[in-house]
Amino acid sequence: MTRFTASLGLLLLLATAGCAASPGLDLDAEALLDPESCRGCHPVQFEQWSGSMHAYTGIDPLFLAQLRLGQEDTNGELGDHCISCHSPVAVRAGATVDGSNLPDVPAYLRGVTCAACHQIDSVSRDHNASHVMATDDNLRGGILDPVQNTAHGSVYSFAHDRNSRISSDTCGTCHCVFNKNGVHVERTLHEWRDTVFATGDLTVQTCGQCHMRGVDGVAAVSDGAGRTAEQMPIRRIHDHSWPGVDTAALDFPQRDRQVELIQDELDTTLLARLCVTPIAGGVELVVRLENIRGGHSFPSGSAIDRRVWLELIASADGQEVFSTGVVGDDEAVATTGDPNLWLMRDRHFDADGEPVDFNWLTESVQSDLLPAATTNDPTDPDFYHFVERSWPLYGVSPDRVQMRVRMRAVGLEVLDQLVERAGLDPVVPAEQPTWNLGSTQLTWEGQLGSCVPY
Ligand code: HEC
Ligand code: HEC
Ligand code: HEC
Ligand code: HEC
Ligand code: HEC
């Protein structure tokens, strides 16, 4: 450990040789990498970031367990593939080669840190973290006329300004993953590019416009030279919490707040409709789901891990007559054998067509996700992008049908495998929430042939 720290110090020294802080600026090249150096002047961004998954990934036991298993399965061939997205600054500083020593890497280099985003100069490729990093001591952001400060230089950048379309590439090159076999295993950026949020004239929404909401406030509480918060210009400042669907299993800042933010997002993501229609010899339950607020498919990201499913229960005179997707809190949904299950996720297969649970083994993907809107033209057949499924029931006539869409970030059977094979702390499956999507909780008690909510 001592030897490691010493050699790390040397590496940093070499990497930063000749670029001590510019005259008049307090932060040298090493201090610019440390989120703690930003905290005093940017307390809001710091606090939000510190509870985000961008920070958590630096200590995430789930990431570490997957990485261990992946390196083992591929005899180390993964190399820096995973860690170059999950802790890019640690790789650049020479503190890790393949992530295997991540727990020993100094905390300030781990995770997707302030510097990992604010030193980005441009993007060279639209996948696998292909950022061109700046080598000067300016930090880039979306403020056109930044107040100069004593800590760092400030520069406006299209790559950061959420009102510029290319800011999506800045997020997207990390949020688009080709695995080592050349298979597109995470596709969020490419999904977005086909939607009205990328192509529409009046409906453009970048990643940042949806995921970093703006409020009025001060961007910094000091300039280091005597100017206080009251003397700073009021600007649009942007949320750095990035709620998605993953949560911290360990004690971590802002945990409860993240859970609240995620629930709020998920509660309004889908539009749902439930109809009960008479058919010869029985009834048909018809469920329609439409992804109305996702700027990409839903779910997205590591969709191999995601489990999004429909729970549907029909009863007559208080007796259950049909159900699908009913699972206990500690029960895996993908392995129940339920023949009626509507499960939204990606399925991955190896070269022999056998299903696999980890994306370093993937040779092909079969995707069953809810697409986002691709046109604003109601005369275009693609305008209706909802997905509908139906279940015929014969010989029964339910008087009450209930539904809800539920979601887990990672399948429990995948987490259980990691506990067994890669030493994952069992607290991770135990702490993982099962989300219920508010807007999809519907109860039908009407006339045959009617729908809820309309
Ligand atoms: C001494 C106080 C101080 C410290 C320390 C500090 N900043 Fe700043 N920073 C400022 C001020 C002042 C501004 C300009 C705010 C404005 O114009 O409203 C600023 C602006 C920025 C911008 C916006 C640049 C632009 O043009 O859009 C970013 C990004 C930024 N800082 C990141 C950081 C990061 C990351 C750190 C830690 C490595 C850090 N800052 C440390 C005071 C500081
Ligand atoms: C995942 C990328 C990412 C990370 C990590 C990140 N930021 Fe930002 N930050 C942005 C983007 C993008 C903007 C610009 C938003 C805009 O203007 O449209 C921004 C804006 C800012 C601004 C300008 C004021 C505002 O809120 O718009 C400051 C200051 C800032 N960030 C500081 C920090 C600090 C300090 C950290 C670490 C504690 C950090 N950021 C981590 C992406 C990031
Ligand atoms: C350097 C690579 C990188 C960049 C740049 C980046 N991200 Fe991320 N992002 C990640 C990683 C890695 C995670 C996963 C953390 C985890 O769950 O362990 C993540 C997680 C997220 C999540 C939470 C996902 C979940 O499942 O909970 C959201 C939302 C998100 N990022 C949005 C953005 C947005 C918006 C931007 C651009 C402003 C951005 N990211 C830029 C790497 C990046
Ligand atoms: C029109 C708004 C919108 C745009 C544009 C958008 N998103 Fe999302 N995003 C959402 C919503 C809504 C969700 C679902 C709610 C949630 O997971 O918190 C979501 C979920 C996510 C997630 C969680 C993964 C999952 O399984 O759902 C990630 C990661 C993410 N977005 C990244 C991005 C990135 C990167 C971009 C740009 C390429 C982007 N988003 C563009 C609205 C948007
Ligand atoms: C090109 C960048 C990139 C590469 C390469 C990459 N990831 Fe990720 N990873 C992400 C992003 C972005 C997310 C967040 C998206 C989400 O959670 O939906 C993520 C999420 C995760 C998560 C969170 C769990 C989940 O299902 O949300 C784990 C664990 C993970 N990655 C492990 C790995 C491992 C192991 C590798 C290497 C085999 C790897 N990643 C390679 C960008 C990357």
Q: How far is the CA of 54 from the centre of ligand 3 (A)?
A: 6
**Angstrom distance (rounded) from CA 248 to CA 194:** 32
Q: Is residue 374 situated within a structural domain?
A: yes
Which is nearest to 168 in space by CA: 192, 144, 145, 150? 192
When divided into structural domains, the chain yields a total of 2
- 276 with 216, same domain? no
From the CA of 227, which ligand is nearest? 1
Q: How far is the CA of 372 from the centre of ligand 4 (A)?
A: 11
Q: Which residues line ligand 4 (CB under 6 A)?
A: 168, 171-172, 175, 188-189, 192, 197, 205, 207, 210-211, 243-245, 262, 265-266, 269, 293-296, 298-301, 306
Q: Is residue 256 situated within a structural domain?
A: no
**Angstrom distance (rounded) from CA 302 to CA 245:** 11
- 273 with 231, same domain? no
Residue bearing the CA closest to ligand 5, atom 34: 82
pLDDT given for residue 141 in this prediction: 98
Q: Is residue 248 situated within a structural domain?
A: no
Q: Low-confidence residues of the chain, pLDDT below 50? A: 1-19
Residue bearing the CA closest to ligand 3, atom 13: 54
**Angstrom distance (rounded) from CA 298 to CA 292:** 10
pLDDT given for residue 200 in this prediction: 84
pLDDT given for residue 373 in this prediction: 95
Q: Is residue 8 situated within a structural domain?
A: yes
- 70 with 136, same domain? yes
Q: Is residue 253 situated within a structural domain?
A: no
Whole-model pTM: value is 0.96
pLDDT given for residue 4 in this prediction: 37
Q: Is residue 289 situated within a structural domain?
A: yes
- 216 with 284, same domain? no
Contact 347, 436 (CB under 8 A): no
- 82 with 194, same domain? yes
- 320 with 416, same domain? yes
**Angstrom distance (rounded) from CA 279 to CA 271:** 25
Residues 6+ apart with CB under 8 A from 329: 434
Q: How far is the CA of 118 from the centre of ligand 2 (A)?
A: 7
Contact 270, 298 (CB under 8 A): yes
Q: Is residue 395 situated within a structural domain?
A: yes
- 237 with 308, same domain? no
Question: Which mutation among 41, 119, 147, 222 tests ligand 1's pocket best, with the greatest number of atoms within 8 A of CB?
Answer: 41
Q: Which residues line ligand 3 (CB under 6 A)?
A: 53-54, 56-57, 60, 63, 85-86, 88, 112, 116-117, 129, 170-171, 174-175, 207-208, 211-212, 242, 244-246, 301
Q: Which of 186, 209, 242 is the last residue of a domain?
A: 242
Q: Which of 207, 242, 277 is the last residue of a domain?
A: 242
Q: Which of 211, 242, 273 is the last residue of a domain?
A: 242
pLDDT given for residue 19 in this prediction: 47
Domain extent, residue 364, equals 261-452
pLDDT given for residue 76 in this prediction: 96
Residue bearing the CA closest to ligand 3, atom 3: 174
Residue bearing the CA closest to ligand 2, atom 36: 114
**Angstrom distance (rounded) from CA 221 to CA 309:** 45
pLDDT given for residue 2 in this prediction: 35
Half-sphere exposure of 401 (CA within 13 A, CB side): 31
- 189 with 70, same domain? yes
- 232 with 272, same domain? no
Which is nearest to 284 in space by CA: 402, 444, 449? 449
- 63 with 153, same domain? yes
Q: Is residue 252 situated within a structural domain?
A: no
Distance (Å) of CA 351 to CA 173, 180, 181, 346, 362: 26, 14, 10, 16, 8
**Angstrom distance (rounded) from CA 20 to CA 295:** 42
Q: Whose structure tokens read 């998605």? A: 244
Q: From the CA of 176, give the closest atom in ligand 5.
A: 1
Measured from the CB, is residue 160 less than 6 Å from ligand 2? yes
Q: What is the separation of C-alpha 357 from the centre of its chain, rounded to a whole number of angstroms?
A: 19
Q: How far is the CA of 245 from the centre of ligand 5 (A)?
A: 13
- 235 with 292, same domain? no
In this structure, how many other beta carbons lie within 10 angstroms of the beta carbon of residue 51? 22
**Angstrom distance (rounded) from CA 206 to CA 198:** 7
Residue bearing the CA closest to ligand 2, atom 1: 117
**Angstrom distance (rounded) from CA 401 to CA 398:** 7
pLDDT given for residue 203 in this prediction: 87
Q: How far is the CA of 370 from the centre of ligand 5 (A)?
A: 21
Which is nearest to 432 in space by CA: 411, 401, 406? 411
Measured from the CB, is residue 56 less than 6 Å from ligand 5? no
- 265 with 234, same domain? no
Apex 388 CA angle, 340 and 317, nearest 5: 55
